[in-house]
């Protein structure tokens, strides 16, 4: 396959937990992202799934260099982007853009669509000379399926799905190579969600974009992704191609996650494998020792509390899995459509 | 004491062991509008559905379809203004609740019909302990003393499988995780043993593994108590797992009603078909998703004829002129489409 466009090496992001007002002291660390490594190939979609609090949005922020990592780095085409600043960082931003979850809060309500989509060109004037910007904005609107005549409207005059299209158009304005999508469809209704997902796929084909697609909905991720990383409490527990993760999951957490997804087919009611996890996700301030999933895992042994399982290819797993007892288990009976 | 009260409650009603064939809860041609500065939004335009004891009715719809407003009207918690009921009835054991006195309605709330909400954190009172909020009902509605109410509340927390219920009794809502808050709210709503439970998007804010736990719990409690359950949701997956019957709403109307198996196997309304086609499925490898074009209508300006006609792939001139009524198209199934017969009879 094609070369790696983005490499993430042992990325760590901790947030301090402080106590006291005048004399602040750090009493702990929220280990939001704790040693994450993966690579993104040109033109592919890497899905990142996990439940709330697993660190997937923090990951997006660090990838975008909106936050500096505590340790580790993000390398874009051989360049460590976590060390960039000033002009170099600004130039890099042209290549990596973000689509945010909530189309209601991520668009400035006082700016017209024309201003919103024109702003990237103000910051990067070299992309489009001044006179051509309005035309560029119209072109963008047309590209994402909005009426170019609506260039003078404000965000509140659009529906949620249309606003998300504006968000996508804004991310596309500078013709980036990578778009990080942080839950881009989770605020949308089903009928609208499908439209936006199709748009993302169509744009990828047209511009050869690479996506890091972060979401909690496993069905959505399967639909769009070439490869998938499953996160739990700041770590990747399993990573592989779409088929490997959905058809041959080897990590107990992935298996539980897959079995919990309701399938919209009542005839499947009684022939589904159901793994019910008990309890809640532990606090990322003091994650369990060893394997972080062991407190909810039915396979947990003593070794799980002592040794952190590495994310590696194991005897019984054809793709990297961070479980001492990784084992294939079919959860979802997949079929082509 | 409590027992006497309970029997007094149930004796005069048509309830008891030999409950007559009459429906438990019926919504009949309900109409609600919201009068705002910008105009009148017709939010509910003639909704009819019912739920019987021990049955799960799923009300499926996208945002703005009126599914939550219908539930609020049933519970009598519609914000007035701006919301006004302009027609129809909500009958509980055959009695129209919309014409009852506040006192009568209050007695039904909790004991007859209870409701749980999507966002447990904002539905629970942050300044009282969870235990207090559950026990409160036993004290005021059942006249129990403090100690006995506490015992019953702990028992309720146990029933919804909150670990260490005794210690958790004194926790405040913020000390609970999202899933536990939802459990606490379920405990609260079931405290007075309601005959109907309305669950408005009970798992939408939760993660999938927790969602599965909560849905299991709801299904189990419903079976035990033989409650009627109205599950309001937009999630076709959750519906497929638990519902007996489904009512699909669009623009303040029921567009299709059917048994869960029939609905998924052969939807009888183009909107339902579109919905089922547009969800990505976990067990299917991706192709282009089929979509429903366009947007749901503005409720201040619902298009004439069938409200779905501007988005419908099958629309004909008649669809722009006549509102299709919700008609029977088979045993226990109805569709509001001019071409429902053809959809049902297709191979």
From A226, which residue of chain B is nearest by alpha-carbon distance?
B286
> Tell me, what's the pLDDT at B44?
93
Among residues B179, B178, B199, B180, the alpha carbon closest in space to that of B190 is found at B199
**What does the pLDDT read at residue A140?**
92
Other C-beta atoms closer than 10 Å to the C-beta of B95 total 14
pLDDT at A2: 62
pLDDT of residue B296: 87
B282:A267 CB<8 A: no
What pTM does this model have? 0.85
Q: Which of B22, B193, B32, B207 is nearest to B114 (CA)?
A: B193
Q: Say if CB A196 and CB A166 are below 8 A apart.
A: no
Average pLDDT over residues A267-285: 81
Per-residue pLDDT at B10 exceeds 70: no
CA geometry: angle at B279 spanning B275 and B282, to 5°?
Answer: 150
| Contact between residue A178 and residue A210 where contact means Cβ atoms under 8 Å apart | yes
Report the C-alpha gap between B45 and B64 in whole angstroms. Answer: 12
Q: What gap in Å lies between CA A188 and CA B41, rounded to an integer?
A: 22
Res B2 pLDDT > 50: no
Residue in chain B lying closest to A216 (CA): B207
Whether A101 shows a pLDDT value over 90: the answer reads no
- In the 3-class helix/strand/coil scheme, how is B268-309 assigned residue by residue? CCHHHHHHHHHCCCCCECCCCCCCCCCCCCCCCCCCCCCCCH
| A contacts of B243 (beta carbons < 8 Å) | 266
* pLDDT for residue A184 is more than 80: yes
A293: CB partners within 8 A, 6+ apart? A232, A233, A237, A251, A252, A253, A323
In the structure encoding, which two tokens stand for residue B50, read together? 């019912």
Residue of A nearest to B244 (CA): A266
Task: Check if the beta carbon of residue B58 is closer than 8 Å to that of residue B239.
Answer: yes
d(CA A147, CA A130): 22
Evaluate if residue B215 carries a pLDDT over 80: yes
Residue A312 to residues A38, A237, A322, B24, Cα–Cα distance (Å): 12, 10, 6, 57
- CB-based contact A280 B177, cutoff 8 Å: yes
Residue B9, pLDDT > 60, answer no
Cis peptide before A62 (omega within 30 of 0): no
A123: three-class secondary structure by DSSP: helix
Q: CB neighbours (10 Å) of residue B296? A: 24
Number of cross-chain residue pairs from A and B with Cβ atoms under 8 Å apart = 141
**Do A206 and A145 touch, CB atoms closer than 8 A?**
no
Are B295 and A161 within 8 A, CB to CB? yes
**Is B207 close to A51, i.e. CB distance below 8 A?**
yes
Q: Is A52 in Cβ contact with B207 (below 8 Å)?
A: yes
Strand order in the sheet with B39-51: B39-51, B25-36, B83-92, B95-96
Give residues 298 to 337 of A whose Cβ lies within 8 Å of B. 332-337
CB contact under 8 A, A268 and B180: no
pLDDT, tens digit, 9 for 90 and up, residues A61-71 = 999 888 899 99
Q: Does residue B247 carry a pLDDT above 90?
A: yes
- List of chain B residues whose C-beta atoms are within 8 Å of the C-beta of residue A52: 178, 207
Model pLDDT, residue A336: 67
pLDDT confidence tier of residue B20, bands split at 50, 70 and 90: very low
What is the rounded average pLDDT of the residues B283-301?
83
* Strand arrangement, sheet containing A227-232: A96-99, A178-182, A210-215, A45-49, A227-232, A235-241
Cβ B285–A242 below 8 Å, yes or no?
yes
Q: Which chain A residue lies closest to B210 (C-alpha atoms)?
A: A280
Tell me what the mean pLDDT of segment A273-285 comes to.
82
Question: What one-character DSSP code corresponds to residue A194?
Answer: H
Nearest CA in chain B to A257: B209
CB proximity list for A329: less than 8 A, separation 6 or greater: A249, A250, A255, A273
The yes-or-no verdict on residue A17 having pLDDT over 80 is yes
Q: Does A280 touch chain B (CB under 8 A)?
A: yes
Q: Pick from B261, B276, B286: which is nearest to A222 by CB?
A: B286
A257 and B208 within 8 Å at the Cβ level: the answer is yes
Three-class SS string for B37-99? CCEEEEEEEEEEEEECCCCEEEEECCCCCCHHHHHHHHHCCCCCCCEEEEEEEEEECCEEHHH
- Alpha-carbon distance B219 to nearest alpha carbon in chain A (angstroms): 13
Please tell me the distance in Å from B182's CA to the nearest CA on chain A. Answer: 13
The Cα–Cα gap between B8 and B20 comes to 19
Give the model's confidence band at B286: pLDDT under 50 very low, under 70 low, under 90 confident, else very high.
low
Report which secondary-structure segment, H or E, holds A44. none
Rounded to 5 degrees, what are φ and ψ at B183? -65, -40
Q: Give the integer Cα–Cα distance in Å for A301 and A202.
A: 47
What pLDDT score does B8 carry? 36
Residue B287 has pLDDT above 90, yes or no: no
Q: How confident is the model at residue A337 (pLDDT cuts 50, 70, 90)?
A: low
Strands A210-215 and A227-232, bridge-based pairing: unpaired
Q: Report yes or no for ipTM above 0.90.
A: no
- Tell me the Cα Rg of chain B: 21
Contacts with B289 from chain A: Cβ below 8 Å: 194, 197-198, 223
Contact check, Cβ <8 Å, B282/A195: no
Each residue of A132-180: pLDDT tens digit? 889 999 999 999 989 899 999 999 888 888 999 999 999 999 999 999 9
User: Closest Cα of chain B to A335: distance in Å?
Assistant: 5
pLDDT, residue B311, reads: 92
């Amino acid at each position: 396959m094609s070369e790696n466009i983005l490499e993430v090496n042992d990325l760590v992001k901790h947030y301090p937990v402080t106590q006291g007002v005048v004399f602040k002291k750090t009493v702990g660390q929220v280990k939001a992202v704790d040693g994450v490594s993966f690579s993104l190939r040109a033109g592919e979609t890497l899905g990142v799934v996990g439940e709330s609090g697993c660190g997937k949005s923090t990951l997006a922020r660090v990838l975008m260099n909106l936050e500096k990592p505590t340790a580790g780095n993000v390398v874009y085409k051989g360049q460590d982007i976590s060390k960039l600043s000033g002009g170099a960082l600004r130039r890099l931003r042209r290549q990596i853009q973000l689509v945010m979850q909530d189309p209601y809060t991520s668009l400035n309500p006082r700016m017209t669509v024309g201003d919103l989509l024109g702003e990237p060109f103000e910051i990067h004037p070299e992309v489009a000379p001044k006179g051509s910007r309005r035309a560029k904005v119209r072109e963008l609107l047309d590209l994402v399926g909005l009426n170019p005549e609506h260039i003078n409207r404000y965000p509140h005059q659009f529906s949620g799905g249309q606003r998300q299209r504006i968000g996508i158009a804004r991310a596309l304005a500078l013709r980036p190579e990578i778009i990080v999508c942080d839950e881009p469809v989770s605020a949308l209704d089903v009928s609208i969600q499908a439209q936006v997902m199709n748009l993302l796929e169509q744009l990828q084909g047209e511009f050869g974009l690479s996506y890091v697609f972060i979401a909690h909905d496993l069905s959505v991720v399967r639909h769009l992704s070439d490869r998938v990383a499953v996160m739990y409490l700041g770590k990747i527990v399993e990573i592989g191609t779409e088929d490997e993760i959905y058809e041959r999951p080897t990590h107990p957490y992935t298996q539980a996650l897959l079995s919990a997804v309701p399938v919209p087919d009542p005839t499947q009611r009684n022939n589904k494998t159901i793994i019910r996890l008990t309890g809640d996700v532990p606090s990322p301030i003091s994650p369990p020792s060893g394997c972080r999933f062991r407190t909810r895992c039915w396979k947990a042994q003593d070794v799980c509390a002592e040794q952190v399982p590495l994310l590696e290819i194991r005897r019984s797993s054809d793709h990297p899995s961070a479980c001492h007892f990784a084992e294939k288990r079919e959860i979802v009976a997949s079929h082509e459509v | 004491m409590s027992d006497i009260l309970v029997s007094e409650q149930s004796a005069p009603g048509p309830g008891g062991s030999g409950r007559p064939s009459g429906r438990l809860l019926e919504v009949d041609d309900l109409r609600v509008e919201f009068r705002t500065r910008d105009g009148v939004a017709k939010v509910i335009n003639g909704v009819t559905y019912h739920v019987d004891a021990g049955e799960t009715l799923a009300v499926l719809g996208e945002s703005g379809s009126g599914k939550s407003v219908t539930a609020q009207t049933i519970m009598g918690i519609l914000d007035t203004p701006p919301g006004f009921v302009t027609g129809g009835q909500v009958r509980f054991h055959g009695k129209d609740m919309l014409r009852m006195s506040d006192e009568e309605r209050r007695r039904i709330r909790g004991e007859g019909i209870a409701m749980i909400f999507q966002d447990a954190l904002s539905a629970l009172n942050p300044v009282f302990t969870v235990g207090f909020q559950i026990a409160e009902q036993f004290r005021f509605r059942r006249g129990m003393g403090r100690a006995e109410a506490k015992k019953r509340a702990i028992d309720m927390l146990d029933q919804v499988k909150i670990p260490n219920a005794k210690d958790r009794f004194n926790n405040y809502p913020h000390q609970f995780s999202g899933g536990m808050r939802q459990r606490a709210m379920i405990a609260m709503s079931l405290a007075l043993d309601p005959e109907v439970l309305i669950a408005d998007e009970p798992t939408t804010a939760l993660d999938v593994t927790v969602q599965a736990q909560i849905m299991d719990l709801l299904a189990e409690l419903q079976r035990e108590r033989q409650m009627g359950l109205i599950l309001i949701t937009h999630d076709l997956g959750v519906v497929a797992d638990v519902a007996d019957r489904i009512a699909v709403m669009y623009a303040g109307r029921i567009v299709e009603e059917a048994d869960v198996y029939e609905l998924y196997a052969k939807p009888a309304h183009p909107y339902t078909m579109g919905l089922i086609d547009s969800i990505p499925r976990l067990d299917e490898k991706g192709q282009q998703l089929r979509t429903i074009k366009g947007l749901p209508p503005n409720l201040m300006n619902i298009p004439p004829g069938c409200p779905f006609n501007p988005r419908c792939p099958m629309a004909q001139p008649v669809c722009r002129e006549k509102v299709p009524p919700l008609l029977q198209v088979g045993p226990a199934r109805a569709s509001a489409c001019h071409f429902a017969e053809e959809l049902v009879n297709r191979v």
